[in-house]
């Protein structure tokens, strides 16, 4: 119940969106590369936010996806990743075959580690909100509210910023 109350009490400066079909396909392709052969991508548990462009990385606009994968080694474990995609611009030479181009990705959570429930984009940074595990928490139920800020580096790498907090 505490998780639901926290999820609905947070204000979102950016509109959360379900994954469009072509972005879900791109995320599924990334998940196949990350999978151990058993783990599956859960598009219904994923979400995206639009992000501004990074000219140094060659894109004018983009999206970030909080994606979930589960079933590692055939078990009930899961991991969460953030993937950043640039949106390909139409060039004078023609339209790009894919709308999205993978810029970077990072494992950010999972069972027994931390669980993120929301993704937003504020002040040129990705902000993940969710829960970490307390001393007495079972694997099902992390209870400590946490916020993690990821910045996109000059080379596209995702860095946890120093102001990440655990409450």
Number of alpha carbons in the 13 Å side-chain half-sphere of residue 31 = 26
Answer yes or no: is 73 within a domain.
Answer: yes
**In terms of residue numbers, what domain contains 52?**
21-164
Q: pLDDT tens, 77-133?
A: 999 999 999 988 777 676 767 889 999 999 999 998 999 999 999 998 999 999 999
| Structural domains in the chain (count) | 1
- In this prediction the pTM is 0.82
Who's near 99: CB < 8 A, 6+ residues apart? Answer: 22, 23, 87, 88
Answer yes or no: is 109 within a domain.
Answer: yes
Q: pLDDT tens, 38-59?
A: 999 999 889 999 998 887 777 8
Answer yes or no: is 10 within a domain.
Answer: no
Angle at CA 146, nearest 5°, toward 111 and 160?
85
Answer yes or no: is 55 within a domain.
Answer: yes
Distances (CA, A) of 125 to 52, 151, 155: 10, 5, 15
Tokens of 106: 């990072």
CA–CA distance, 10 with 4 (Å, rounded to integer): 10
- The residues with which 120 forms a beta bridge, in sequence order, are 127
Answer yes or no: is 14 within a domain.
Answer: no
DSSP state at residue 90:
P
């Amino acid at each position: 119940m505490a998780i639901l109350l926290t999820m609905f009490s947070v204000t979102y400066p950016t509109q959360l969106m379900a994954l469009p079909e072509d972005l879900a396909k791109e995320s599924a392709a990334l998940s196949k590369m990350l999978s151990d052969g058993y783990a599956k991508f859960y598009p219904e548990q994923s979400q995206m936010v639009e992000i501004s462009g990074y000219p140094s990385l060659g894109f004018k606009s983009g999206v970030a996806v909080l994606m979930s994968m589960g079933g590692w080694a055939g078990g009930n474990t899961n991991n969460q990743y953030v993937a950043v995609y640039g949106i390909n611009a139409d060039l004078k030479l023609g339209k790009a075959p894919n709308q999205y181009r993978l810029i970077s990705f990072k494992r950010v959570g999972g069972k027994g580690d931390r669980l993120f429930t929301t993704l937003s984009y504020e002040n040129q940074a990705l902000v993940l909100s969710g829960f970490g595990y307390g001393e007495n928490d079972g694997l099902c139920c992390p209870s400590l509210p946490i916020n993690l800020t990821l910045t996109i580096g000059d080379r596209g790498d995702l860095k946890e910023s120093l102001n990440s907090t655990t409450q």
